[in-house]
Structure 1
Amino acid sequence: MNTVPTPNQSATREWESEGGSLQAPPPTPLPDGVTAVTSVHYHVGPYTYSRLEDALAEHDRQSGK
């Protein structure tokens, strides 16, 4: 298979025919009174933290600082 495009041939890659998409699906509409909130979680070893300060403190404890 020739993967180098010629001047008369557009460039295609194998993944382009696999059905994948780079666009996210449209969000599902939420009813009034329902709000979606994104949250960040920090994992340090087996523990999970929602506050960066707590995660850094645990990291310091684990690394002996």
Structure 2
Amino acid sequence: MEVLRLRMSFAAAFALLSLLTAFVLPSPVAAQSPAPSPSSDGVAVDQGIACLLMLVALVLTYIIH
């Protein structure tokens, strides 16, 4: 009877310690930050190329006339 009581108290202490450890220590998955946003997307590159081509067209039009 005493052995059973000792085992039950050990199991209860282990369960309590496990729960406390799980709540106190943060999970490594929760500590990860989300992925960073891309620094440049295709739209910005396309607008830059379009602006450069418009500038070339303006210079050529000025030279021809």
TM over 0.5: no
- Structure whose residues are more often helix by fraction: 2
TM superposition score category, shorter chain reference = under 0.3
Asked which structure has the greater CA Rg, the reply is 2
Question: Scaled by the length of structure 1, what TM-score is found?
Answer: 0.24
Question: Scaled by the length of structure 2, what TM-score is found?
Answer: 0.24
